[in-house]
Structure 1
């Protein structure tokens, strides 16, 4: 009798489970729509974030202060040609600035804020060259070469050549490049990283940088890590808030114009399959290349995707289009000749940024 009761109880639990699953399917087809992502005003959200009381301030200050005992070792590593790479949880901006202002007084220091959205690396290299020029003029023997200012009229190769030139003993004239967030959005592309590695390998340059992204080491190959940057890694978690760095990034939960539209669309798009993302990219590139058209005909999209081996039949394409329409990534409108055309309801700037997001 007891076994029968147990079986009935288990049957009832299973029956209720599948009934709940069926009732869940009867609701909306998808909850991942752009219109359903509830976003608040960015100023309001930032105001609320600023009102959050900081915790463990004394412990954080004590932890950061404990790193000061390593300053002499860090200077020693710099003098012998290593680059310092600071990593660990928390903002390292205050720590690095304190190190630069107290232990690098014999250096000329140039600071780059990698957390900014755009950075002109040529201007950075020119500033370093001008600082090095001033140092060389102060040397007893003076300058015995034809290098003359202005550097802004020279090519990047010439500026780097000057920074790497055998002017005097390497340890006599050095320029230290401090980069907060070398993995930041303004420096994350391959060209910027290769240019920075060339600058870092110059004989009169030393570099101190911080990283915060978990995949930051993927930016460099073996030569860049061990030869050009010549990193000496230091784990210095500070648990400090990213107050300054966070100001320049749009908040995910807040309205932020084009940047935020791209972010929300990217969240939805990355929930789909890689093949669906590739189909969406074909449509996006066509829309960018033909801004005056009313949209992309479905037959044209099918032909383009089949040529790229993204779909094998109209049925497969329709399944992707159904996902796009359910998620409100793509809409359909009637062309002037009567055929249905697909279009992405985003501005040109937002769509260009979204295509870059897909590539990452």
Structure 2
């Protein structure tokens, strides 16, 4: 190929490249927003989901039954002091509960459902302590003599005291333990850092054994090296079940359905907590004004800037505009004109929802 042919080929490629870029950029961008989609009612969507005919039930049941042969191995791993972590596609709730009801009958079992929106971990620790105390009382008489006579009620103890009791050297017998079954340890009710730290401390107790399941691909990011290898001491098992998440899905808000004010507040709270403290303070100034003047169309920009400048929240209008752009991009703040023709800023939330949001970001 001659030099001129090569040059012509490269020129043609460059010309086509820039032509394609020009044509792509000339198209009109859609001004539509996700919030403008006409969403269906949540109850209607749930009813439609419930009427979907299940598929491959026989194959799924056969797969679940095939795991029964591993139950004795799982019990052995627990007795050796490891925690069991089940992962793989599909709901593992039925599998874990069948394992507990058939292979862990000699032990007390406490179930935690992480797919719930909130879990009372203090009550879980109290229940574990009470079950362990009952086990200790059924042991030989010589052991009872070493136990305190006037036992302080567990519900009055702090979380640290409960963990100390569960980790105490009450018995030399390692077989005396309570098993904790955690469905979706990566669920919304257990996902925050503080809860995971407490779960790890519970799992590290000498009289506690933990069996848990994960479903999110990034679930291991919840733990550091110490939590994985020392506290939880996970023994990983790949147990895909391909079973539908029927129970777990009931407690998750549906993406294609209208959401209530509680979910809106939760979403707004997550967005605000990801912003800087100054940005949160600016939002609170606007929220406080709206709560104090519910009948007004909103807060004029100049008024907001004056207050934020006095409180040293912003140094210039450019800084305030940057915060407002962030709010508007997430649809936390909108603009409308008042009766005087002046543009005002307002938060598109009901008074009750706004009060709850302000309370959450103030904690």
TM-score (norm 2): 0.78
Following superposition, the deviation at residue 353 of structure 1 comes to 8.3
Aligned residues of 1:302 and 1:314 also touching (Cα < 8 A): yes
Aligned to 1:173: 176
1:214-293 correspondence to structure 2 within 5 Å: 214-261=217-264, 281=280, 283-288=282-287, 291-292=291-292
Following superposition, the deviation at residue 105 of structure 1 comes to 1.2
* Matched residue SS, 2:28: helix
Alignment partner of 1:32 is 2:43: no
Following superposition, the deviation at residue 191 of structure 1 comes to 1.0
Aligned residues of 1:39 and 1:255 also touching (Cα < 8 A): yes
Following superposition, the deviation at residue 296 of structure 1 comes to 5.2
Aligned to 1:92: 92
Matched residues in 2 for 1:40 and 1:260: separation?
16
Aligned to 2:185: 182
Aligned to 2:209: 206
Aligned residues of 1:281 and 1:355 also touching (Cα < 8 A): no
1:343 to 333, 346, 350: 346
Aligned residues of 2:86 and 2:236 also touching (Cα < 8 A): yes
CA 1:84–1:44 in 2, change beyond 3 Å: closer, same or farther?
Answer: same
Q: Which runs of 5+ in 1 are unaligned?
A: 1-10
Alignment partner of 1:145 is 2:147: yes
Cα deviation per residue 1:236-295 (whole Å; 9 max; x = unaligned)?
Answer: 11111010011111111111312443588799x79xxx98x9997554343445532565
Aligned to 1:71: 71
Matched residues in 2 for 1:353 and 1:242: separation?
31
CA 1:356–1:234 in 2, change beyond 3 Å: closer, same or farther?
Answer: farther
Cα deviation per residue 1:298-337 (whole Å; 9 max; x = unaligned)?
Answer: 35766859x779xx97568657756865875422356899
CA 1:297–1:222 in 2, change beyond 3 Å: closer, same or farther?
Answer: farther
Superposition misfits of 4+ residues, deviation over 4 angstroms: 14-21, 262-267, 277-283, 293-297, 299-305, 312-329, 333-340, 348-358
Cα deviation per residue 1:208-263 (whole Å; 9 max; x = unaligned)?
Answer: 01111111111111111111111111111111101001111111111131244358
* Matched residue SS, 1:52: coil
Aligned to 1:5: none
Aligned to 2:159: 156
Matched residues in 2 for 1:63 and 1:285: separation?
53
Q: Which runs of 5+ in 2 are unaligned?
A: 1-14
Following superposition, the deviation at residue 88 of structure 1 comes to 1.0
Aligned residues of 1:107 and 1:174 also touching (Cα < 8 A): yes
Matched residues in 1 for 2:332 and 2:323: separation?
11
Following superposition, the deviation at residue 60 of structure 1 comes to 1.2
Alpha-carbon RMSD across the aligned residues, in angstroms, is 3.9
Matched residues in 2 for 1:264 and 1:39: separation?
18
Matched residues in 1 for 2:97 and 2:338: separation?
59
TM-score (norm 1): 0.79
Alignment partner of 1:116 is 2:119: no
Cα deviation per residue 1:56-113 (whole Å; 9 max; x = unaligned)?
Answer: 1111111111111111111111001101111111100000001101111111101111
CA 1:120–1:266 in 2, change beyond 3 Å: closer, same or farther?
Answer: closer
Moved more, 92-101 or 66-75: 66-75
Matched residues in 2 for 1:52 and 1:355: separation?
40
* Matched residue SS, 1:99: helix
Following superposition, the deviation at residue 15 of structure 1 comes to 8.2
* Matched residue SS, 1:64: helix
Aligned to 2:101: 101
Matched residues in 1 for 2:67 and 2:302: separation?
63
Matched residues in 2 for 1:60 and 1:328: separation?
43
Matched residues in 2 for 1:32 and 1:263: separation?
20
